[in-house]
Amino acid sequence: MGWALAAALAAPTELLRRLGPFDPGAFLFYEDMDLCLRARAAGVPTVLHPEVELTHTGGHSYDAAPIDVLARRRREVVGANLGERALCWDDAAQIAEYGVRSWRGRDRARLRAVLHARG
């Protein structure tokens, strides 16, 4: 898989040091995606282990985040790591996903946010 969102990430310390710290520009949202994309660029795949289960007992910042901030930050991370062409494909995928589910109010708002973030 290309990246993981809102996931528990684990990697050898040496790899994390080689990849560098989280990008402060992606603070709070999409640090995990940014790290996975940088690992991919370094030839290290993101591997999903669906048998691993973790329980998050803290806050739920993603659910409380302004939708426009999420859309903008996602575009920044995808664009910085994968370039303009991939950003266009990612935008199209999100527009299609939220468009299909637009009967739900939250997805309608997400669709508007993605379209607005595109400018």
3: closest CA among 88, 96, 81?
Answer: 81
Euclidean distance between CA atoms 99 and 74, whole angstroms: 18
Cα 61 to Cα 28, 71, 115, distances in angstroms: 8, 15, 23
Q: What angle do CA 80, 9, 71 make, to 5 degrees?
A: 40
Residue whose structure tokens are 């949202």: 29
Total-model pTM: 0.63
Cα 24 to Cα 31, 82, 96, distances in angstroms: 8, 18, 30
pLDDT in tens, the chain (119 residues): 556 666 677 888 999 899 888 877 766 667 888 888 888 888 988 888 878 887 777 666 555 667 888 888 888 888 888 899 989 999 998 888 888 887 888 788 888 888 998 88
Q: Give pLDDT, residue 58.
A: 67
